[in-house]
Amino acid sequence: METPTAELKVTRLQEVQQYERLFSLLQAQAVYGRDARRLITKAMDGL
């Protein structure tokens, strides 16, 4: 797996499961299309 600063090799089952849970949480929060554009515009307006 790559991170912004390095590459990690995750082989222990517990670590893999932890990343799977994290990915699922992030995936559930993801927005696309118009919702994504609205979120980005809102963030830009706050600058």
CA-to-CA distance for 22 and 28, rounded, in angstroms?
A: 10
Residue 2's SS3 state is: strand
Q: Give pLDDT, residue 1.
A: 67
Give pLDDT tens digits for 1-47: 667 788 888 899 999 999 999 999 999 999 999 999 999 999 999 99
pLDDT exceeding 70 applies to what percent of the chain?
96
Q: Give pLDDT, residue 12.
A: 95
pTM here is 0.62
Residues forming a β-bridge with 2 = 7
Per DSSP, 31 falls in state -
Q: Give pLDDT, residue 7.
A: 84
Domain ranges for the chain, please list them.
13-45
Helix (H) / strand (E) containing 23: helix 13-29
